[in-house]
Amino acid sequence: MNLSTNTTAIQAGARAACWLGVLLTGVPAGTTETALTPQWEPVAPGVWKATIGSPEDLTLLNAAGQAPRREALAGMPAATFPLAETEIEARLQARRTALRFPLALDEDIYGLGVDFGTLRRTGSVFQLHVDHWSGRPGRTHAPVPLYLSTHGYGVLVDSARYLDVHVGLGVRLAAQDKPPVIDRTTGGRLWSSRPRSDSVEIAVPAAGAVVYVFAGPTPLDAVRRYNLFCGGGALPPKWGLGFLTRTPIAYTAQQALAEVDAFRQRGIPLDMLGLEPGWQDQAYPCSFEWDKSRFPDPAGFLAELEQRHVRANLWFNPYVAPTAPLYGRLLPFAGSHLVWNGIVPDYSLAEPRRVFADHVRKTIVGLNPVAVGGFKVDEVDGGDQWMWPDHAAFPSGHDGEQLRQTYGLFLQRTLMEVFRGLNRRTLGQVRGTNAGASPFPFVLYNDNYNFDEFITAVANTSFAGVLWSPEVRAGTGEDMLRRVQAVCFSPLALFNGWATDTKLWTHAEVAGQIRDVIMLRQRLLPYWYTTFAQYHYQGTPVIRAMPLIPGFKAPAASAEAGSLDATVNPYAIGKVVEVKDQYLVGDVLLVAPIAPGVASRKVTLPAGRWYDFYTGQLAGGNETIEVTPPLTQIPLFVKEGGLIPLTDERQWAPGRDEAVPLEIRHYGESAGELSLYDDDGETFDYERGEFSWTKLQVAKDASGAWHGQVTPEKDVRPWRYTTVMWRFMTTPAPPH
């Protein structure tokens, strides 16, 4: 706390003078801040770290606790430090550490958490704060303090505090090139309520901060380095890429099994069954014990699920009820405040994490490690009305603010370690996370139900090393169909029936179409699985927002000037036009969800040529087109030369020793290539080398006919496909 005695706070080369004193003469020497130029040390190829002042022990990456994928990082291009070091400044103040990074006039910033309203962050001010999204920028389920620049680098402020962020706003008196001074009365549209600054400024309310810089050369490369530095992206089990349905809150074992049977009878694929609070005998706060009236024989129930090739996903929130057997063991680690009258264990300490993991392993997962697939970790985000206050005290010495920023991280880490210990992969849901979470196989969700915001959030995950899925809960037939289409092209395909009588088949007029899109999702498993493998091994995000796509030059990021209006727009604020309602899944598949109630939409295609997924016909390239798809279709486009691998129609994901037929679709006029990933799909054996990348190639022969070729890696490892069928979508093979 006492900066003046902490000599490590002043790095070598620091300008230890009063910052204002340097700038201005005659200023009263009241200010006690110290300005310094951070010193950067390389910590991995293309990754640099600066330790500024006296950072707190608990950082986000420490909370996540995962090791960098150094080999993969070493395989990336060499890079030099991407910023002008002397342009980066840290000021150690009494209440905070203020960081300043340069921002060029032609530079735009993305990232800084999974926002639901916008992708582009240039020209905005907000506080990064784990919370339920409710329209306040910065308050989100994943306020990851990582930003990506269109100039091709990334910056992570690794602090478990609420960070105040100014992106291109807040012109400094010391700035070299200040915006012009305009008289508002006569300046008209020359005057701006938000003059552009030359900085990204981030305030850390602590006596120091740890900062990382990630080189490019492209923003996508910078994200890749970030994900690899965090340990690589999550690799879910194959069944985790199937379909999940959640049952109503008070369903019994019988009702839950009947729900599975209803899916099977209707031919709707199903891999995961979500049990909501009612599986426990006390929830909000939780007992972490099966409710014996609704689930009299949990092991028997799980065996039934296993027989049906379905994994249970068990809901909980982490607040421990006084009646829980765990209570006594966790009470010594409880924070000063309760949530829904349950204690809040201090999971920043290893011992309560061990206590909780033991309980989960022994009494829940241990009942049937095949059938218990994972957990839904609820209520680790907000809102402030029910969470512990920031001033809550915890036995570790961390305060409520630090725990709020990291609670989801600690729970994901704890649960992943439980499953790793059993050598079984998991796929779960979590409602709050933060930086360092890339390796965690947990998908974010929330209670928001705004379709457009859902899609923007999915796109924003690509800048944050996290996964997010919209929800389908209820609605009219068309509403549900459009939402199911969207979730099927998000990281987790699910229906959440926890508080409704509505089923996927309630609306007969769309039931078949709902089944069809879930089946398409199921068939696309090889494409999704390879895309996740790219995330894991190469750090490349599963979802890729348009600004990450090379050659994407769209109407993005241009600000419309606003019109002055005395009652509704007194500051004449314009709105930002950007393409935030479409994204790529993997390398070649462009997804442009259609909102309920909407008949047509614009799609902005990047450079090159793009083809309709369903017909193979040319859709366009480097242009914005209008599409009016049938109700049965979510607009999908494939890049020139793209290969899309599919399985046959299946009700659940292939098991670990199951081989299935493969269909490979080729789009466009050019040759194409895909490295298809495979492993056993269920265990961590891939970490011991049990995986394969198989080269799929399509090219024309001398006669102009298309041919496909499968080239296994030299050392043939897991490859679980039987037959291969090639389909040339744009140029069908002539009949023989």
Which residues within the stretch 173-212 sit at the binding site for a second copy (CB under 8 A)? 173-174, 178-186, 191, 193-195, 201, 203, 205-206
Residues 94-103 as b or e (16 or more Cβ within 10 Å = b)? eebbbbbbbb
Which span (21-29, 69-77, 237-245, 628-636) binds a second copy, by CB under 8 A? Answer: 21-29
Nearby residues of 192 by Cβ (< 8 Å), 6 or more positions away:
179, 182
Per CB under 8 A, the list member of 45, 342, 593, 668 interacting with a second copy is 342
Q: Which residues pair with 314 in a beta bridge?
A: 275, 375
Query: Site for a second copy (CB under 8 A): how many residues?
Result: 111
d(CA 248, CA 363): 23
Residues 380-402 as b or e (16 or more Cβ within 10 Å = b)? bbbeeeebbebebebbbebbbbb
First to last CA, the chain: 80
Q: What angle do CA 646, 429, 392 make, to 5 degrees?
A: 160
Per CB under 8 A, the list member of 10, 14, 15, 31 interacting with a second copy is 31
- Written as six digits, the tokens of 56 are 């707190």
d(CA 528, CA 586): 7
Identify which of residues 162 and 214 has a Cβ nearer to a second copy in the complex.
162
Q: Under DSSP, is residue 567 helix (H, G, I), strand (E, B) or coil?
A: coil
Please give the torsion angle defined by the CA atoms of residues 341, 346, 350 and 351, in that order, rounded to the nearest 10 degrees: -50
A 10 A CB-CB count for 482 gives 23
Interaction between residue 171 and a second copy (CB under 8 A): yes
The site map against a second copy for 254-293 (x = CB under 8 A) is: -----------------------xx-xxxxxx-----x--
Interaction between residue 730 and a second copy (CB under 8 A): no
Nearby residues of 624 by Cβ (< 8 Å), 6 or more positions away:
554, 555, 602, 603, 604, 605
Per CB under 8 A, the list member of 68, 366, 389, 596 interacting with a second copy is 389
Interaction between residue 8 and a second copy (CB under 8 A): no
Per CB under 8 A, which of residues 54..93 are in contact with a second copy?
Answer: 91, 93
Which span (333-341, 507-515, 523-531, 542-550) binds a second copy, by CB under 8 A? Answer: 333-341
Phi, psi values for residue 345, rounded to 5°: -65, 145
Interaction between residue 329 and a second copy (CB under 8 A): no
Q: Tell me the C-alpha to C-alpha distance, in Å, between residue 582 and each of 181, 308, 520, 595.
A: 38, 35, 19, 11
Consecutive H or E run containing 255? helix 253-266
Per CB under 8 A, the list member of 10, 43, 249, 607 interacting with a second copy is 249
The site map against a second copy for 509-548 (x = CB under 8 A) is: ----------------------------------------
Interaction between residue 172 and a second copy (CB under 8 A): yes
Identify which of residues 194 and 264 has a Cβ nearer to a second copy in the complex.
194
From the CA atom positions of the chain, what is the Rg in Å? Answer: 26
Q: Under DSSP, is residue 736 helix (H, G, I), strand (E, B) or coil?
A: coil
d(CA 75, CA 539): 12
The site map against a second copy for 600-619 (x = CB under 8 A) is: --------------------
Per CB under 8 A, which of residues 140..169 are in contact with a second copy?
Answer: 164, 166, 169
CA 670 and chain centroid, separation: 32
Q: Under DSSP, is residue 661 helix (H, G, I), strand (E, B) or coil?
A: strand
- Written as six digits, the tokens of 180 are 């012009």
Per CB under 8 A, the list member of 11, 54, 252, 336 interacting with a second copy is 336
Interaction between residue 403 and a second copy (CB under 8 A): no
Per CB under 8 A, the list member of 104, 340, 624, 713 interacting with a second copy is 340
Per CB under 8 A, which of residues 626..665 are in contact with a second copy?
Answer: none
Strands 243-246 and 97-102: unpaired
Q: Under DSSP, is residue 402 helix (H, G, I), strand (E, B) or coil?
A: helix
Interaction between residue 335 and a second copy (CB under 8 A): yes
Per CB under 8 A, the list member of 266, 473, 656, 700 interacting with a second copy is 473
Identify which of residues 52 and 579 has a Cβ nearer to a second copy in the complex.
52
Identify which of residues 563 and 628 has a Cβ nearer to a second copy in the complex.
563
Interaction between residue 396 and a second copy (CB under 8 A): yes
How would you class 283 by CB atoms within 10 Å of its CB: exposed for 0-12, middle for 13-18, buried for 19 or more? buried
Identify which of residues 281 and 516 has a Cβ nearer to a second copy in the complex.
281
Per CB under 8 A, the list member of 12, 41, 84, 95 interacting with a second copy is 95
Interaction between residue 327 and a second copy (CB under 8 A): no
Shortest CB 354 distance to a second copy, Å: 14
Per CB under 8 A, the list member of 80, 176, 567, 703 interacting with a second copy is 567
Per CB under 8 A, the list member of 65, 366, 395, 620 interacting with a second copy is 395
Interaction between residue 349 and a second copy (CB under 8 A): yes
Interaction between residue 361 and a second copy (CB under 8 A): no
Shortest CB 462 distance to a second copy, Å: 26
Per CB under 8 A, the list member of 49, 96, 225, 311 interacting with a second copy is 96
Per CB under 8 A, which of residues 100..129 are in contact with a second copy?
Answer: 123-126
Interaction between residue 20 and a second copy (CB under 8 A): yes
Which span (104-112, 468-476, 511-519, 600-608) binds a second copy, by CB under 8 A? Answer: 468-476
Shortest CB 157 distance to a second copy, Å: 13
d(CA 246, CA 47): 41
d(CA 213, CA 242): 36
Nearby residues of 620 by Cβ (< 8 Å), 6 or more positions away:
605, 609, 610
How would you class 473 by CB atoms within 10 Å of its CB: exposed for 0-12, middle for 13-18, buried for 19 or more? middle
